[in-house]
Structure 1
Amino acid sequence: MRDLSALTATARRDARAAEERRALTADVVDALTRAGFPRHFVPGRFGGAAGEFGPLVAGVADAGEACAATAWCAALFAAHGRLAAYLPPEGQREVWADGADVRIAAAVVPPQGAAVAVDGGWRLDGAWRPASGVDHADWILLASWTDGEEGREHRVFAVPRCQVTVEDTWHSSGLRGTGSNTVRCAGVVVPRHRTYTLAALLRSRPGAARCHTVPYPMVAALMFAAPLLGAARGALRVWTGERLSAERPHPATHTVLARASARIHAAGLLLTGAAERADRGEITALAVAENRRDATAAATLCREAVDALFHASGLRAQSPDSAVQRAWRDATAIAAHAALDPDAAARAYAEAVLSPAGGDGP
């Protein structure tokens, strides 16, 4: 990642405005673009970084200390660039025709709307939600069920932002600034070269950059957990500063501080290890399951830490201007994401460990 100081300063300055607008400010979006998030996983032939997961997790967490909504959109703009790299070559050339700094929003899980096969492609109709950062996107990835030779297929489509309608539907308790609105298509035709099935994200790709060979389940939870780590670190910093200036500290300050900081530190170690595994480890069923296990455990630790900090903040945290309250709402929203479901991750891990093959294989 490039220098993040401008992004963190701008995100901290505009955090309240993003909450009120329910979308990031243009200054923040420009800063996260200059920091290199949209281009992070873009293939090198288009001027992208084809980067690693470790630096991305670190950069997202840094941004999250200032504003979780900024970190969320930064992580997803990067992640969606990785997804777009699975398009056929002609589709990739179309998306990145003007360079690598293309912001891509998405609503790909679960499949929504309707896709009907037409000559040369598919026609899209209906609504997709939520699509984080869509107001500032150049393209959007949408997914629908389609009929294939082997039955129903989960198909992803790349659509220019100018061809969809965005409906202002994002009225949330947490992550308010992400602008995760609803996208609507009315007879939008997507050519065959701008689509692929989700199964492509699980297949090996000989000769591709490492970031484009890692199976989606190995890194999905990691990408969603990184903003939560940043939010937790930010909440801890603010809470600690408030305790230093408090006339009457909370009676359990020492316990809350020690436990919350330990949880957040442990979460950081888990995500760092998961990113290292994604960047350099052998890709096996067990490694994929370990990454899901560690990312969801890290998310749980961060949520628990922020929850404890919020409840030990007293009346101060009830103010709508409270940074701890905002972090608490954001952390609660992020931890509720399906990709961070600890039960689903636990089942996948148990299946990998207890399978007859012992978790070997891709």
Structure 2
Amino acid sequence: MTELVDRAARYAAEVDGARRLRRESVAALVTAGFPRHFVPRRWGGAAGGFAPLVEAAITVGESCPATAWCATLFATHGRIAAYLPEQAQEEIWGPHPDTLIAASVMPPSGRATPVPGGWSLRGEWGWASGVDFADWVLLASMVTDGDQDTVRIFAVPAGSYLVKDTWRAAGMRGTGTNTVSLCDTFVPEHRTVTLPELLGTRRPGEARCHNVPYTLVAAVMFAGPLAGAALGAVADCVSTGAARPPSDPGARQALARSSPEASAARLLLREAAGRADRGMVDARTIAQNRCDAAVAAELCVSAVDRLFAARGEHGPAEDDPVHRRWRDVHTAAGHGALRFAPAADAYAKAVLG
């Protein structure tokens, strides 16, 4: 982990400009164990908990939110792949458990046509973070299952798809969240799983991380790098203030208020991850985790907004680290899983009935 944190800090400005991670950072996140974190133990993985992953994401995010984002998603996509049939899991992890898996599953896109033995997949899927380095990608399409439509997720190996350089976001630039393109690519039936299976729980005997629904943990995972970014922005301002103490009382007050906000976001995510690891899995817990993650994201936005405004003449500079973190937090907080309004509605229904 130390090597990854060091490299993330060293290359943060560079990956922001290049719009993708450096290979050295990818190698370090593999060594730190992110891709194998949720891989089933029978394939050599850790089948780990959510709390350790959230803590690791926050730690790396303090140095580089984009690196933390990709590392966390490589881990969580391994959890999704564990829902695939056994034959597909063997193809993905049989050689080793450190397979890098990217994904574009929400919203579903492309077109999947049933053919003998599987499916023919074509179209484009956007927002696949870290896909430039992926060995496999998970893609979701709407399909007709009997008399109703459902979402099906397909596992496609590298070499079967093209990556289009489309990521031009204001923040989280280093994630390389590019577009995947396929043209009539055959996907065997054993490399697919339906979304309802992912939203439910797994069969008895699996590790806890494979026995909780996606909705319990998705938002919490996405929020981890944001908390790291907010804490990193506080650290940047502390470092600057130690070298050149601000004369403006507003800058000192901004630091004093933003620091506990960032810490509060971290505490909310720690508690939510703990519930995912040990708590009862029911509608109320799912709603609580979604709401806590959304509130944590809002706290991170509030913290970096205040710190950015207090930077004065340094804030507008694109290479200012607080400016970079401000862009990263605002971009990541826009993710659908972290929107407060739907999370609040779900929480009110679960608590009030």
Please give the TM-score of this superposition, normalised by the length of structure 2.
Answer: 0.98
The number of aligned residues is: 352
| 1:123 correspondence with 2:129 | no
Q: Which runs of 5+ in 1 are unaligned?
A: 356-362
Work out the CA distance in 1 between the residues paired with 2:318 and 2:212. Answer: 41
Q: Does 1:217 align with 2:219?
A: no
Partner residue, 2:243: 245
SS in 1 for 2:274: helix
Amino acid paired to 2:155: A
Residue 155 of structure 1 deviates from its aligned partner by: 0.5
Matched position secondary structure for 1:162: coil
Shift of 1:354: 2.0
1:275 equivalent in structure 2: 273
Displacement, 1:117?
Answer: 0.5
AA of the residue aligned to 2:91: E
Name the stretch that deviates more: 317-326 or 41-50: 317-326
Task: Please name the residue that 2:200 is paired with.
Answer: 203
- Deviation of the 1:268 alpha carbon: 1.1
Q: Which residue of structure 2 aligns with residue 106 of structure 1?
A: 103
How much has 1:266 moved relative to structure 2? Answer: 1.0
Give, in angstroms, the shift of residue 187 of structure 1.
1.0
Contact 1:243 1:249 in 2 (8 A): no
Please give the secondary structure, in 2, of the residue aligned with 1:249. coil
Paired position in structure 1 for 2:301: 303
The CA deviation at 1:202 is: 2.4
1:182 to 157, 179, 190: 179
Give yes or no for the alignment of 1:337 onto 2:335: yes
List 4+ stretches of structure 1 deviating above 4 A: none
Per the alignment, do residues 189 and 217 of structure 1 end up closer, same or farther by CA in structure 2, a change over 3 Å counting?
Answer: same
Displacement after TM superposition at 1:176 (Å): 0.3
Tell me how far apart the structure 1 counterparts of residues 126 and 205 of structure 2 sit (CA, whole Å): 34
Q: CA deviation at 1:249?
A: 2.8
Report SS of the residue matched to 1:172. coil
Return the offset for 1:247: 5.6
Q: How does 1:80-91 map to 2 (within 5 A)?
A: 80-91=77-88
Q: Which residue of 1 is the match for residue 60 of structure 2?
A: 63
Q: 2: CA distance between counterparts of 1:186 and 1:12?
A: 39
- Asked whether the equivalents of residues 200 and 214 of structure 2 are also in contact (C-alpha less than 8 Å), the reply is no
246-255 or 212-221: which moved more? 246-255
SS at match of 1:252: helix
Cα offset, 1:248, TM superposition: 4.4
2:138 partner letter: L
Q: Which residue number in structure 2 is paired with residue 358 of structure 1?
A: none
Identity %: 51
Q: Distance in 1 between matches of 2:216 and 2:200?
A: 13
2:144 aligns to what SS in structure 1? strand
Partner AA of 1:249 in structure 2: S
Distance 1:309 1:347 in 2: 30
The CA distance in 2 between the partners of 1:30 and 1:66, in whole Å, is 16
C-alpha contact 1:146 1:154 (8 A) present in aligned 2: yes
| SS of equivalent to 1:333 | helix
Instruction: Note the aligned Cα RMSD (angstroms).
Output: 0.9
Deviations 1:38-88 (CA, angstroms, capped at 9, x unpaired): 000000000000000000000011000110100000110000000000001
Conserved in 1, the CA contact under 8 Å of 2:251 and 2:307? Answer: no
Match of 1:51, SS state, is coil
CA deviation digits over 1:281-305, x for unaligned, max 9?
0111101101011111111101110
Whether 1:21 aligns to 2:18 is: yes
Look up the match of 2:283.
285
Shift of 1:245: 2.2
The answer to whether 1:265 aligns with 2:263 is yes
Alpha-carbon distance in structure 2 between the residues aligned to 1:247 and 1:61: 27
Distance 1:299 1:351 in 2: 21
Deviation at 1:254, TM superposition (A): 3.0
8 Å contact 1:157–1:194 — kept in the other structure?
A: yes
> Helix, strand or coil: the match of 2:137?
strand
Q: Indicate the SS of the match to 2:193.
A: strand
Q: How does 1:38-53 map to 2 (within 5 A)?
A: 38-53=35-50
Unaligned runs of 5+ in 2: none
Question: 3-state SS of the aligned residue for 2:112?
Answer: strand
1:218-233 alignment runs, 5 A limit: 218-233=216-231
Give the Å deviation of 1:242: 1.1
Provide the C-alpha distance between the structure 2 equivalents of 1:149 and 1:266, rounded to a whole number of angstroms. Answer: 47
